Amino acid sequence: MKQGGWVFISHSHQDIAKVREIRNYLEKLGFEPLMFYLKCLSDENEIEDLIKREIDERDWFIYVDSNNARNSKWVKTEREYIENFADKKVFTINLNDDLEKQLKNIEHIAKQMKVFISYSSKDRALKERISQRLLQKDMLIIDEEDNVFGGFNYQMQAKKMIKAAAREGFVLLLVTENSYQSVYIEYEIKYAKKSNGKIIPVYVGEAKLNPNLLNTVGSSAGVRLSHNPTEEELDVLIKEILKGVEFYDSSNNNNCFYRVENNGIRLFNISRIDRKTLMEHKNLEWIYLPDSVIYITMDAFKDHPNIIVKCSPNSYAEHYCIKNGIKFELE
């Protein structure tokens, strides 16, 4: 049973046919896209307030870029309001470009937002607390059905859910005094490892990992929470998950997504730029950002304050540079 996975779609109603294709694609991935086409409200202040309140509650956004969107008062209002929040994840789909290719890029990122939590039944209350925080951040929780019977039925059900999370997202291992002796948890984690899953151990209090799982979990330091974790502690866990998300898919160019040229660097087939992207590249005078870039963090160029960004006209990179006072050149 899945929960969460909300995605806010900012669009012009004049592009509704194409936007429906995007919505349908996200729904096939198991996500819950939000689209506003409000005919029942006539008060503009009421509409704006409603949309802003919904934006406040969401973390993942898709901006459907088009000539119609750029001329839309409401899309402009949404975009400007969203960009006030540094932690919002905003991705752009340009209707003038290859839609199928862009959707595949979004899919690569979105599918990694799936999370399965492996826990002892005695820790259900804590597990629910963690789940609720993940849901608030619009992650997709792959959870057991309410009528779990245990034994072989449970193992078969868990196997199916773990495979989905391991293949695309993350498996959280809730390490507590209760989980230490759980044969079910040992089974789940070893199966997640067998499925090449990304496993993040979550240590509660002073609990330690069962020695039988040391080789399975690997080198991940994980996250430590108190028995009654604060919102700040839970946010550290979410940041740990996001650190493992691959925001670009380099499978189409043999894992090479950049080329160094004359005191600069040219990036290929990459969708996210953050501080780590340039960590190994010092003294850069310029960087080329392709149209595939759909998200740049606020601290992306903190270590390169004088860098010149080269990009295409009307690209996400150009809009980012204008908004944040970054020097840029159009190619």
Q: How many CB atoms neighbour CB 125 within 10 A? A: 8
Residue 147 and residue 176 share a domain: yes
Residue 267 and residue 207 share a domain: no
Residue 90 and residue 6 share a domain: yes
pTM: 0.59
**Helix (H/G/I), strand (E/B), else coil: 290:** coil
Q: Which of 203, 222, 243 is the last residue of a domain?
A: 243
Q: Is residue 271 predicted with pLDDT exceeding 80?
A: no
Q: Is residue 2 predicted with pLDDT exceeding 60?
A: no
Residue 148 lies in a domain: yes
Query: What is the amino acid identity at position 141?
Result: I
Sign of the torsion formed by the C-alpha atoms of 209, 212, 213 and 215 = positive
Residue 311 and residue 230 share a domain: no
- Dump pLDDT digits (tens) for 68-117: 988 888 888 888 888 777 667 777 788 888 888 778 777 766 666 778 88
Residue 270 and residue 153 share a domain: no
- Dump pLDDT digits (tens) for 165-187: 666 668 888 889 888 777 778 88
Q: Which of 243, 272, 298 is the last residue of a domain?
A: 243
Q: Is residue 42 predicted with pLDDT exceeding 60?
A: no
Residue 298 and residue 226 share a domain: no
Q: Which of 34, 67, 97 is the last residue of a domain?
A: 97
165: buried, middle or exposed (CB in 10 Å: 19+, 13-18, 0-12)?
A: buried
Residue 104 lies in a domain: no
Name the nearest CA neighbour of 50 among 74, 24, 23, 26.
74
Domain that holds residue 270: 251-330
Average pLDDT over residues 6-30: 87
Question: Alpha-carbon distance 259 to 261, whole Å?
Answer: 6
User: What pLDDT is recorded for position 252?
Assistant: 41
User: What pLDDT is recorded for position 246?
Assistant: 53
Residue 106 lies in a domain: no
Residue 216 and residue 185 share a domain: yes
Query: What is the amino acid identity at position 24?
Result: N
**Helix (H/G/I), strand (E/B), else coil: 207:** coil
Six-digit token pair at 311? Answer: 């990009």
Average pLDDT over residues 12-17: 90
Percent of the chain with pLDDT over 90: 12
Sign of the torsion formed by the C-alpha atoms of 40, 46, 52 and 54 = negative
- Dump pLDDT digits (tens) for 276-318: 788 778 888 999 998 778 778 888 898 899 999 999 887 888 9
- Chain-wide mean pLDDT for the chain? 79
Residue 277 and residue 234 share a domain: no
Residue 147 lies in a domain: yes
Q: Any idea what DSSP says for residue 177?
A: T
Structural domain total, the chain: 3
User: What pLDDT is recorded for position 245?
Assistant: 61
Residue 275 and residue 257 share a domain: yes
- Dump pLDDT digits (tens) for 228-267: 999 889 988 887 777 666 554 434 433 446 778 888 888 8
Residue 314 and residue 267 share a domain: yes
